[in-house]
Structure 1
Amino acid sequence: MHDKKTTALVVIDMINTYEHEDAELLLPSVREALPGVRRLISRAREIGVDVIYVNDNYGRWRSHHDEILEMALARPHADLVEPVKPDADSLFVVKARHSIFFQTPLEYLLDRRNVGHLVLCGQVTEQCVLYSALDAHVRNLPTTVARDAVAHIHRDLADAALRMMERNMGTHICSADEVPLGVEAGTPLPPP
């Protein structure tokens, strides 16, 4: 993917009902990360960067993205979903497991959209974000993670995950406001 020229923002598992194990531990961190996620989405939309939601289907194999969104918006924590919900131009990929790549069409979509750099935000830092960054790394796909736009269940594990992504996978770790979206004038993509 070295010849790819564009960046995509991947929003991981933010369309969420928060009706799962560890949700109570996750919620405070989601509230902290939400402003960073919102800023990234807004900036990406403003300059025309693809915003791709990759989201669990929660075992609902007959559902599609609108149903997943409606279900999350009908639950008590809709205030965490409403500000970051997909718009008409957003792309949506359903996943069943932790990585955004595992048995999803994401890699094909990225190839078709000429994407050579991923920006990851969402949840959970020490699980889905970490595994997705690893899968991007093994695909030789440069990746950035906005540390203030990812939510965690356990802060110590999230801090370790961010260090591992940076040290072992070459992931660029920065604040949401420092994320290079790659299409802004003069903004180079991170090195592969």
Structure 2
Amino acid sequence: MSDIDTYKQQGFGNSTGFGARPALLIVDLQVAFTDPQHLGGGNILAALNNTKSLLAVARQCGIPVAHSRNVFDSVDASVWCVKVKSLKDLTETAPASQIVEQVAPVPGECIVRKTKPSAFFETPLADWLHQKNVDTVIVAGCTTSGCVRASVVDCISHNFRTVVARDGVGDRALGPHEASLFDMAQKYADVLSCAEIAAHLRGALPG
């Protein structure tokens, strides 16, 4: 029996689908994570290009958009910064910590400053989504095996339907990227291409 057959036999991998009120969450598309010489690499730049297109559709459709960014000033340095020392480069004003121009937030979009892998942990993100009556969160960004996966697990833990943009998430290593997509698809989220997500959003527009 193959791995996927085992999961299916045990009841994993079902689709939760889209609800009535989706939002887009873009995780950590910061300068540092899109620079292969700093914290980037792998397929992150390809994910950025696809996310840029998906963001344009989300804005056209008028759905809520949230962005997360890692920021570590002196009081925020944590055990995570011990494990990954270069995170301490991401101070509030450092160029490396800024969200890249291609997906830069516009007025009205939520920007979550975080110091842990998940965009939900000790941030106002869940409250903001509830205020917008969101029931489905589309997740893009990086890295697939790190902050994307952590955010996805917390997203479903907050009882949001969760959709991961397969080609809108990226990682500096393709092995963890693929393994994380498989795991999330079985346990925590629907995994769809940016084109499939965009088609749904356009089709869900009233009129």
- Shorter chain as denominator, the TM-score bin is 0.7 to 0.9
Confirm whether residue 87 of structure 1 aligns to residue 106 of structure 2. Answer: yes
Aligned to 1:133: 152
> What TM-score does the superposition give when structure 1 sets the normalisation length?
0.78
User: Matched residues in 2 for 1:185 and 1:13: separation?
Assistant: 28
Aligned to 1:99: 118
Relative to structure 1, the CA distance from residue 183 to residue 146 in structure 2 (aligned partners, 3 Å threshold; closer, same or farther) is: closer
Question: After the TM superposition, which parts of structure 1 deviate over 6 Å for at least 4 consecutive aligned residues?
Answer: none
The sequence identity of aligned pairs, in percent, is 25
Find the structure with the greater CA-based Rg: 2
Contact 1:5-1:114 within 8 A present in 2 as well: no
Relative to structure 1, the CA distance from residue 92 to residue 182 in structure 2 (aligned partners, 3 Å threshold; closer, same or farther) is: farther
Confirm whether residue 114 of structure 1 aligns to residue 155 of structure 2. Answer: no
The within-5 A match list for 1:1-192 is 5-18=20-33, 24=38, 26-59=40-73, 68=92, 71-72=94-95, 81-169=100-188, 171-179=189-197, 184-186=202-204
User: Matched residues in 1 for 2:157 and 2:204: separation?
Assistant: 28
Contact 2:57-2:198 within 8 A present in 1 as well: no
What displacement does 1:61 show?
5.8
User: Matched residues in 2 for 1:49 and 1:158: separation?
Assistant: 27
CA displacement 1:23-52 (0-9 Å, x = unmatched)? 557234221112111011100111111110
What displacement does 1:85 show?
0.9
Q: Report the residue type matching 1:83 in the other structure.
A: Q
Q: Number of residue pairs matched? A: 173
Contact 2:44-2:172 within 8 A present in 1 as well: no
User: Matched residues in 2 for 1:48 and 1:85: separation?
Assistant: 16
Q: Runs of 5+ in structure 2 lacking a partner?
A: 1-18, 77-90
User: Matched residues in 1 for 2:62 and 2:134: separation?
Assistant: 13
> What TM-score does the superposition give when structure 2 sets the normalisation length?
0.73
User: Matched residues in 2 for 1:122 and 1:160: separation?
Assistant: 16
Q: Report the residue type matching 1:30 in the other structure.
A: I
Q: CA RMSD in A?
A: 2.9
